[in-house]
Amino acid sequence: MLTRIALHSLASRRTTALITVFSITVSLFVLLGISHIRHEAKHSFGQAVSGVDLIVGPRTGQLNLLLYAVFHLGNATNNIDWKSYEILKDHPDVAWSIPLSLGDSHQGYPVLGTIPEYFHLFRYGQRQALAFFSGQAFKRPYDVVLGAEVASALNYNIGDKLVLAHGMATTSFSLHQNSPFQVSGILAPTGTPVDRTLHIDLSDLKAIHQDWQSGTLAPSHQHDNSDHHFNTEPESVTAVMVGMKNRLTTFNLQREINNYQDEALMAILPGIALSELWQMMSWVEKTLGFIALLVLFASLLGLATMLLSTLQQRRRETALLRVLGLRPLALLVLLELEALLLVATGAIAAISLLKAGLIMTQPLLSQRYGLFLSEHILTGHLLNTLGLVFAATFVIALLPAVSAYRQGLHSSLQPR
Amino acid sequence: MLSPSAIAIENLVFRYPGKTAAPVLSIRHWQVEPGQRVFLSGPSGGGKTTLLNLLAGVTTATDGKLEVLGVELAKLSNRQRDRFRASHIGMVFQQFNLIPYLSILDNLLLAARLGGTSSTTAKKRAISLFTALGLDNDILAKRPEHLSTGQQQRAAIARALVNAPAILLADEPTSALDNVLRDNFIQHLLTATEEWNSTLIFVSHDHNLSHCFQQAVSMQAINRPETREC
């Protein structure tokens, strides 16, 4: 019955109620959005690579190496020599190694040159292996294996042909038009950067670049490329993922690589680099979260102000409700109900907006920033946040609610 | 066994809390028998509203004894008093008798709910009350603002009687009505209270109305704050 009164009471003040709901919606949208993105980003980062003991690349920043080797973001400034890779590969402590070569793209999606073993050696999430949704790993020259998102976003199927672009720009003017690739396999979704990557064989990558000099196609070589496909041992790779025979030797190898004399190399531990990346971002996230909390606090105060200002109008209503036998405590509950109803409405609106926003920006976020944000926002984490929001609402709404209680307590028959 | 008086007052004193000034209200003895219809008149500031507050149990007396339907209100807890009022006392005021954002039916159901009357009973009563009050059932779905003042006041009687209270207190209920509406209102009020066998305390400063009631009492006759102290 009180709920019914509360609903009608709010409906009778719908202009102020709507403005209040709107302000709560905006602040909850920001708060829940930040909280969700933080949670998802952390998850998404942590899932990106697993079971890799070392990532080896040219000497650069630890984060830089991590970003391009794992997330395929940014550009490698340097490569490492193929000879160095071979020494590493044959190192007695190394169980397996995957060379990675980056630099080309297709419609904004990065192209990764690697070896066929990548598909059964690479691990993500909780040590999960990659699985083929359809097709198989590259076997013939100019085969390409697509990540799940690439295939679905660009609508490719097994057997389709596509042309790679030189460099990472979404609209590149220099295409490897002479060497079209054929889709040989499509990977199952992983929720990691693998989904938006095109995988080709290292030797194919070498082949398509054979006629390229300093970033442009040499004019004398505008012919079909297929006859180039021999003797294609790559000269260099961008980075190498390494798995150890015995994990205890990881640090020894890391030191060895870092001190390698013939080339400026660097080895990082992905787990440590990931947490460093995370720490770097966490203060941004904490600041944003704090601002969101302040915004929420302001709108809850606005809500309390709105309810307080109705108390004057409510004096007669309060008197009448008391005459009908309503207890003063019920008046307190009534005001609390109104406050919670407003916040609940705002929360529903904010969640819907957030969900719609995520569905709309998902492709862009994963493509541009490698962020895989699930649109399933109703997680325990979000429910906790909402619980706290309702608790805060309850406390702040005590301000007008207690006033209503006192008004009810001192009410007489007909205040004039 | 004799049924208790509807209202029984002995040496009742009311002062505003914290004020040491002379009492606002001081009644040595006043008694109203069940089913009586009493016209209570008096100048404004004569303590009429204070008396009604006391009778309704919205405030309690500083001193003395006040029994309503044989129950001493001052001895009840706040919550018991609220319940007692909800189920045994109906009230009609000069204006603002209905919650503006609820339909007339919801207003009636709210009063019924608080008075412990089931909604089925309340709906049945509402229809027979509406017939007695000359109101169309159509207005049950309307909100007070869509009713004329006369209709609002009669709907207020229906709301006040929905719990079949033993006592109906009416505080200047006709002040906002013109003469025609006023006579019509009183007619309906008397019919309805008679039908429901309620004791009626009708407070007004308009002496022209007193002839409609079995008993007319002037506030000055019962309230003697100045003589109480000697």
For the segment B147-190, what is each residue's pLDDT rounded down to a tens digit?
A: 999 899 999 999 999 999 999 999 989 888 888 888 888 988 99
Query: Is B30 a domain residue?
Result: no
Q: Which domain holds residue B51?
A: 35-62+77-228
Work out the number of other CB atoms within 10 angstroms of the CB of residue B223: 25
CATH number at residue B173: 3.40.50.300
The predicted structure's pLDDT at residue A352: 94
Residue B96 domain flag: yes
Residues present in chain A in total: 416
Rounded CA separation B110/A291 (Å):
44
CB of B53 within 8 Å of a chain A CB? The answer is yes
pLDDT in tens, A342-378: 999 999 999 999 999 988 887 777 666 666 777 777 7
Q: What is the pLDDT of residue A69?
A: 87
pLDDT average, residue stretch A139-159: 89
What residues of A are in contact with residue B91 (Cβ under 8 Å)?
A: 323, 413
Out of A317, A327, A414, the one facing B99 most closely (by C-beta) is: A317
Q: Do B85 and A325 touch (CB under 8 A)?
A: yes
Sheet holding B215-218, edge to edge: B89-92, B167-171, B199-204, B37-41, B215-218
Q: Count CA within 13 A, CB hemisphere, residue B149.
A: 13
Whether B208 is in a domain gets the answer yes
> What confidence tens digit (pLDDT) does each residue in B56-100 have?
988 888 888 999 999 999 899 999 999 999 999 999 998 889 999
3-state secondary structure of B142: coil
Q: Report which of residues B228 and A250 the model is more confident about.
A: A250
Residue B197 lies in a domain: yes
A91 in Cβ contact with A255 (< 8 Å): no
Range list of H helices, B67-144:
78-88, 104-115, 119-132
Q: What is the mean pLDDT of chain A?
A: 85
Return d(Cα B5, Cα B34) in angstroms, integer. Answer: 6
Provide the percentage of residues in chain A whose pLDDT is more than 90: 34
pLDDT of the residue at A378: 78
pLDDT at A367: 64
pLDDT computed for residue A300 by the predictor = 93
Count the helix, strand and coil residues of chain B and give each as a percent rounded to the nearest 5. Answer: 45, 20, 35
Chain B, nearest residue to A315 by Cα: B96
Domain assignment of residue B141, yes or no: yes
Which spans in A196-327 are helix H?
202-208, 250-258, 270-313, 315-323
Buried b (16+ CB within 10 A) or exposed e, A280-289: eeeeebeebb
pLDDT band at residue B230 under the 50/70/90 scheme: very low
**Test mutation, A324, A333, A407, chain B, max B CBs within 10 A:** A324
pLDDT-above-70 percentage for chain B: 95
Q: Does B175 touch chain A (CB under 8 A)?
A: no
3-class DSSP assignment, residue B216: strand
Residue labelled with tokens 């490569």: A79
Would you say residue B212 lies in a domain? yes
> Is it the case that residue A402 has pLDDT exceeding 90?
yes
Is A413 close to B86, i.e. CB distance below 8 A? no
Does some domain include residue B16? no
Number of domains chain B contains: 1
Q: What is the pLDDT of residues A92-144, one digit of tens each?
A: 999 999 999 988 888 888 899 999 889 988 888 878 888 898 888 888 888 99
How is chain A split among helix, strand and coil, in percent rounded to 5? Answer: 55, 15, 30
Contacts of B82 in chain A (CB under 8 A): 322, 325-327
CB distance A390 to A31 below 8 Å: no
